[in-house]
Amino acid sequence: MGPASTAAAAPAAAPRWPALDGLRGLAVLAVMAYHLGHLEGGYLGVDLFFVLSGFLITSLLLREGSATGGVDLRHFWVRRARRLLPALAVALVGVVVAARIWLDHGTLPALRVDALTTAGYVANWRFATQTAGGYFAADPSPLRHTWSLAIEEQYYLVWPLVVVAGMVLARRRGARAAVVVGGTALAGAVASALWMALHAASWSTDRLYLGTDTRLVAPLSGAVLACLLQGRLDRRPSAGVRRGAGVVGAVALAGLAVAVVAVPPDAAWMYRGGFALVAVLGAAVVAGSVVGREGALARALGPRPLRWVGERSYGLYLYSWPLQVVLAAQGLAGAALAAATTAGAFAAATVSFRYLEVPVRRDGLRALLPRRRDADAPAPAASRRAPGALVAGAVLVVLVVVVAGTTTTARPDPLAALGAEELEAGARRPAVAPTGSGGEEGSRVLVVGDSVAYTLGEYAPTDIPGVASVDARGLPGCGLLTKGARPAEAVEAGSPEDYEGCATPVADADRLGLEGDPDVVLLVTGAWESSDHERDGRTVGPGDEGWTAEIRSLLDARVTELGAEGAVVALWADPCGPDAEERRRQAWFTEEVLDPVAASRDEAVVVRPAEVACAGDEPITDVAGVGDPRPDDGQHWSEDGARWLWQGWLGPTLHDLDTRDG
C-alpha cells in the first residue's frame, strides 16, 4: 500500500495537548495587542502560530503514516479546508460589505485585488511586492493580516507531499520516516533563514517579512521538532526528562516574552537570524509543553480561559483586524478603539466557532443544510450530492460579492488625461486676457501642470487681488513625466497607455506661456508622479530611492526651463487629500521632491495651500458661499472653490512672491 493511498486502518487518534491551546491563545492576544499599538513585538505571535502548525501537522502526518502505512492526502486536505475556508469566506464577504458601507470607495479597487489574492491564498505575495500599502504601511489594507494565512495554506498544500515522498524514500532505504522527513525539514529551515539573511540588506522589509521563502524557517522548525519527538510521546518520559524539558521551555517562553515586549518589526537583526532564533525558541516552548505536559510550564499555559481563547484563535485573528480598520475609519481611537475591537472580535469569533467552524469541521457543509427530521434515515442521492453543489455555490457567492462589492461608479479621475488632439489644442490656445483688477501693477501669472492646474487656471476669476492676468495652460494627464507607461489603474479608467503624448504639448504650453513674459509661473503637479508605476518588472513609487531621484531631477529641469527668463517658479504642494493614503503620497512629493528642489534654486518657492484649505490633516469642506471647494474627488477645484482660493489666498500669495525682492 503506497504512502499516499487511503489506508484501510484508521490512524491512531492524535494526542490532546491543552497547553498548546493556551500557547495559541497567548499568540493571538499578542498579535491583537500589536495591531492596537500596545506591544511592539506582538507581531511575533504569528511566528508561534507557524511553529505550532508545523509541529501539529507533521505530527499528524507521521502518526498516520506509522499507524496505517500511508497518508490519505485527500482526507487531510478536506479536513484543512473544513477548518479554514468557511470562516475565511465569511470574513471576506464581511470585509467587502463593510468597506462598501463605511470605508473610502477610492480604496475598493485595491481591496478587490486584496480579497481575490486572499481567496487564492497568495496574499502574502500581493503585499510583499507592493511599494505602498504593505504590512507595515501607515494606512494598510483591512485584509493585510491574511498574508500569514496564505503562507500556512501554501505549507499545508506542499509539505504533506514532501512528507509522503520522505516516507517512500525511507521505506526504500530501510530508514525511519521521521529521520528522512526531519532531515529535509532541518535543511529547509536553515536554507530559509540563510536566504533571508543573504537578502536582508537589499530587499524591502515587506518582502523579507512576507515572502514564503524567507518565512519557512518557523513552520519547518516545528516540523523538525515533530520528527524528533515522533513515537516518543506515546510513552511517558522519565521525570528528569520532563523536568528538563519544562525548564528549557520556560526559559524559551521568557525569551519570547522579552522579544514580544521590546523588539520592533524594523529591527535589522531580526532579518539576519532573529526570526530563526524566534522559531527555535517557539519550538523549545512547544517541546517543554508536550514533553513536560504535567509540569509547571504546561500548567501555566493550561488554564481554561486561556485555552478557550486558543480554541477560538483563528476567528479572533481573522475578524479582529478588519473590525479595527472599520472602527478606526469611523473615528474611534485609543482606549475606545481597543475596547470596541476586542469586544467585537470576541463576539464574532465566539459566534463563528459555535455556529460555523465546529459544525462544518465535524459534518462538512452538510451542517449548514436544514436538518432532516429522521436523522437515522439514509440521505437520498440528491442530498448526498448537495455538499458538492453547495461548495461550488458558496465559492461563486463569495466571488460575486467580492467583485460586485468592490466595483464603484465612475467618478472624476484625479489623473484624467486628454486625447492627443485636445492636448495640442490646449497647449496652443491664446493667452487669457487680463483680469481687470490688478492693472499694470498686478503680476502676470502662468499656470502649467496637470489636471489640478487645469481646474485652477480654467476657473480663475476676473478679479484677483494683485494679479493682472492668468494664462491657463494646465494639461490634464500631463505632469513631469513625458515617457514610460502610466499606472494600469489609470489606463483602465480611460487614460492613454503611456506619457509619450505629453512631451510635445507640455513643451508647447511652456514655450507659448513664457512668451507672455510671466512674473510668476505656478507649476502644479504631483498626482502622476506620486502614483505607483511598473518599471523594469518591479513596482516603484513613493519611498523608492531611484524613483524619488528621477522625479526630483525632472522637476529640477522643469524649474530651469520655466525660470530661465527671470520668472519666479511657485511649486504647488497639493493639500490634504481625501484619504490617508493620498496624504501620504502628497507628503512624499512635498518633502522629498518639492522642498529639496526649492531649497537648491533661488527662483523656486513652494506654495502651500494647506494654509487655507485644510484643518490639520483634514480638508475643509464647508466654506461660506462655496461649500466644498474640491467636491468631486478632494483634489480638483470647483469653479466656486477656485474663485475663493484665488481671491482670498493664491492671488495675493503669488503677487507677494513677484514683489518679494523689490
pLDDT at 344 over 90: yes
Instruction: Examine residue 57 and state whether it is found in any structural domain, yes or no.
Output: yes
Question: Would you state the pLDDT for residue 371?
Answer: 65
pLDDT digits (tens, 9 = 90+) for 193-207: 999 999 999 998 889
Instruction: Examine residue 461 and state whether it is found in any structural domain, yes or no.
Output: yes
Q: Do 505 and 392 sit in the same domain of this protein?
A: no
Sign of the torsion angle spanned by Cα atoms 546, 141, 405, 105:
negative
Instruction: Examine residue 331 and state whether it is found in any structural domain, yes or no.
Output: no
Give the residue with greater pLDDT, 330 vs 200.
200
Dist. CA 322–CA 459, nearest whole Å: 41
Instruction: Examine residue 559 and state whether it is found in any structural domain, yes or no.
Output: yes
C-alpha grid cell for residue 382? 440528491
Q: Do 389 and 507 sit in the same domain of this protein?
A: no
C-alpha grid cell for residue 13? 487518534
pLDDT digits (tens, 9 = 90+) for 270-310: 999 999 999 999 999 999 999 987 789 999 999 999 999 99
Question: Would you state the pLDDT for residue 56?
Answer: 96
Share of the chain above pLDDT 90, in %: 62
pLDDT digits (tens, 9 = 90+) for 494-537: 778 889 888 888 998 899 899 989 999 999 999 999 988 888 77
pLDDT digits (tens, 9 = 90+) for 643-656: 999 999 999 999 99
Q: What are phi and psi of 602, to 5 degrees?
A: -65, -30
Question: Would you state the pLDDT for residue 411?
Answer: 42
pLDDT at 11 over 60: no
Dist. CA 176–CA 182, nearest whole Å: 10
The distance from CA 204 to its chain's CA centroid, rounded to whole angstroms, is 14
Task: Work out the average pLDDT over 374-384.
Answer: 48
Q: Do 529 and 401 sit in the same domain of this protein?
A: no
C-alpha grid cell for residue 242? 520532563
Dist. CA 222–CA 661, nearest whole Å: 71
Task: Extract the runs of DSSP E, i.e. beta strands, from 460-595.
Answer: 467-474, 520-524, 533-535, 538-540, 568-572
Average predicted confidence (pLDDT) for the chain: 87
Closest of 307, 22, 265, 279 to residue 140, by C-alpha: 265
Question: Would you state the pLDDT for residue 592?
Answer: 95
Instruction: Quote the domain boundaries for residue 538.
Output: 420-658
What pLDDT band is residue 103 in, cutting at 50, 70 and 90?
Answer: confident
Pick the last residue of a domain from 373, 405, 437: 405
CA dist list (Å): 301 to 258, 294, 295, 436, 461: 17, 11, 10, 80, 72
Question: Would you state the pLDDT for residue 46?
Answer: 97
In a 13 Å sphere around the CA of 284, the CA atoms on its Cβ side amount to: 18
Dist. CA 511–CA 136, nearest whole Å: 44
What pLDDT band is residue 4 in, cutting at 50, 70 and 90?
Answer: very low
Q: Do 46 and 111 sit in the same domain of this protein?
A: yes
Q: Do 468 and 391 sit in the same domain of this protein?
A: no
Question: Would you state the pLDDT for residue 136?
Answer: 62
pLDDT digits (tens, 9 = 90+) for 50-71: 999 999 999 999 999 999 989 9
Q: What 3-state DSSP class applies to 184?
A: helix
What pLDDT band is residue 568 in, cutting at 50, 70 and 90?
Answer: very high
Q: Do 463 and 400 sit in the same domain of this protein?
A: no
**Type of residue found at 470:** V
CA dist list (Å): 589 to 551, 552, 572, 601, 616: 9, 9, 10, 17, 18
Q: Do 528 and 611 sit in the same domain of this protein?
A: yes
Q: CB of 217 within 8 A of CB of 278?
A: no
Instruction: Examine residue 571 and state whether it is found in any structural domain, yes or no.
Output: yes
Question: Would you state the pLDDT for residue 385?
Answer: 47
Max Cα separation, the chain? 100
pLDDT at 34 over 50: yes
Dist. CA 342–CA 329, nearest whole Å: 16
Q: Which of 67-81, 179-193, 287-301, 464-478 tops mean pLDDT?
A: 179-193
Task: Extract the runs of DSSP E, i.e. beta strands, from 1-70.
Answer: none
Question: Would you state the pLDDT for residue 140?
Answer: 76
Instruction: Examine residue 415 and state whether it is found in any structural domain, yes or no.
Output: no
Write out the H or E segment, with its range, that includes residue 347. Answer: helix 334-352
Question: Would you state the pLDDT for residue 520?
Answer: 96
Dist. CA 373–CA 660, nearest whole Å: 89
Rg, the chain, Cα only: 31
Task: Work out the average pLDDT over 68-84.
Answer: 93
Q: Do 491 and 386 sit in the same domain of this protein?
A: no
pLDDT digits (tens, 9 = 90+) for 116-163: 999 999 999 998 887 544 566 556 789 999 999 999 999 999 999 999
Question: Would you state the pLDDT for residue 397?
Answer: 84
Write out the H or E segment, with its range, that includes residue 449. Answer: strand 443-449
Closest of 148, 316, 273, 290 to residue 222, by C-alpha: 290
Question: Would you state the pLDDT for residue 418?
Answer: 64
Question: Would you state the pLDDT for residue 365?
Answer: 76
What pLDDT band is residue 244 in, cutting at 50, 70 and 90?
Answer: very high
C-alpha grid cell for residue 401? 460579492
Q: What 3-state DSSP class applies to 375?
A: coil
pLDDT digits (tens, 9 = 90+) for 252-275: 999 999 999 999 988 999 999 999
Dist. CA 147–CA 313, nearest whole Å: 16
What pLDDT band is residue 329 in, cutting at 50, 70 and 90?
Answer: confident
Q: Do 390 and 478 sit in the same domain of this protein?
A: no
Domain at 623, CATH number: 3.40.50.1110
Query: For the purposes of burial, counting CB atoms within 10 Å of the CB of 652, is it exposed (0-12), middle (13-18) or buried (19 or more)?
Result: middle
DSSP state of 483: S
pLDDT at 189 over 80: yes
Q: Do 299 and 256 sit in the same domain of this protein?
A: yes
Dist. CA 257–CA 264, nearest whole Å: 13
Question: Would you state the pLDDT for residue 432?
Answer: 53
Question: Would you state the pLDDT for residue 139?
Answer: 62
Q: CB of 451 within 8 A of CB of 457?
A: no
β-pair partners for 471: 446
Question: Would you state the pLDDT for residue 5?
Answer: 37
Q: CB of 123 within 8 A of CB of 117?
A: yes
- Domain tally for the chain? 2
Instruction: Examine residue 373 and state whether it is found in any structural domain, yes or no.
Output: no
Q: CB of 91 within 8 A of CB of 345?
A: no
Closest of 513, 583, 593 to residue 557, by C-alpha: 593
Q: What are phi and psi of 307, to 5 degrees?
A: -65, -35
Dist. CA 651–CA 638, nearest whole Å: 17
Q: Do 435 and 491 sit in the same domain of this protein?
A: yes
Task: Work out the average pLDDT over 226-245.
Answer: 87
Q: CB of 470 within 8 A of CB of 432?
A: yes
pLDDT digits (tens, 9 = 90+) for 345-373: 999 999 999 999 999 998 887 777 766 54
Task: Work out the average pLDDT over 442-451.
Answer: 93
Instruction: Examine residue 5 and state whether it is found in any structural domain, yes or no.
Output: no
Q: CB of 280 within 8 A of CB of 237?
A: no
Q: Do 397 and 453 sit in the same domain of this protein?
A: no
Prediction pTM value: 0.67
pLDDT at 437 over 60: no
Residue 498: count other Cβ atoms within 10 Å of its Cβ.
14
**Type of residue found at 102:** W
Dist. CA 445–CA 650, nearest whole Å: 11
